[in-house]
Amino acid sequence: MIIDKLYESVEKKGHVCLGLDTDLSYLPEDFLKKYENIEDALFNFNKKIIDATIDVVACYKVQIAYYEAYGLKGLSAYKKTLEYLKSEKVISIADIKRGDISRTAEMYAKAHFQGDFESDIITLNPYMGFDSIEPYLPYIKDNEKAIFVLLRTSNKGSKDIQYISNCENKRVYDFVGEKLSEMGKDYLGESGYSSIGAVVGCTTGFEGKEMRNKFGSTFFLIPGYGAQGGTAKEVSNYLSHGNGGIVNSSRGILLAYKKDDNGEKNFEESARNASITMRDDILSQLK
């Protein structure tokens, strides 16, 4: 199962999930000048980042919005990036956050689990109801795919809905997590984790151990490290025996070259060094 492969990747390479949320403004000027079109510029920047970090990050997350913003050329770069990750046998997460029902959800599943935009794992939004997740389940069972479902996110607005509680002080995200855990029992891998994972922000680290204990078989995609204020110590609360989660960083790695002397000429090396620093920071909290 793909979740077992992700577990193994974390064991070998650490917890870093490198976010390829690539905007043209992130590209060094001299590099950008080499290319006549957006498609080639975006893809070749991504390729250099991937080649430089492939042995030190667990997986890559590609946020589709950054490519949709550039129209068909941007989506072509998105497609090429996913294809390149597949050719390198690296796990890809398509960050699409879809959340719809019935035939619409079936079409989203088809679009992102096969064809031009195929990836190994996708992100989903469950807040329209759990029937919005069901159309993706056949791909998990039959095609070695997985999903990460929004559970408790790292943005300030998460409290608007996710933290609403009942008279027993049970929050919306508690109900969502319990439902995902129940659904996930049918998709457990040898690692003990389910192919139905959850997105859990690490900016409120005091809740981490509670969530890890409560949702023990749920693998976490953990945003919020670095720029959003999450620390390696907070991240460690969401892990179990050093595994069970990947930690996303996008701009912190893609733009690391801006902090280095001569970084523009060697932006991929700066990305590699930033990935290693992040990996080691997290591992240091697990010893």
Is the CATH number of domain 2-284 3.20.20.70?
yes
Q: State which residues of the chain have pLDDT below 70.
A: 155, 157-158, 160-164, 204-206, 227, 262
Q: What pLDDT score was predicted for residue 157?
A: 66
Q: What pLDDT score was predicted for residue 129?
A: 92
Q: What pLDDT score was predicted for residue 158?
A: 66
**Which residues are catalytic, by number?**
97
**Joined tokens for residue 205:** 């680290």
Q: What pLDDT score was predicted for residue 162?
A: 64
- Tokens 């929004």 — which residue? 150
Q: What pLDDT score was predicted for residue 59?
A: 98
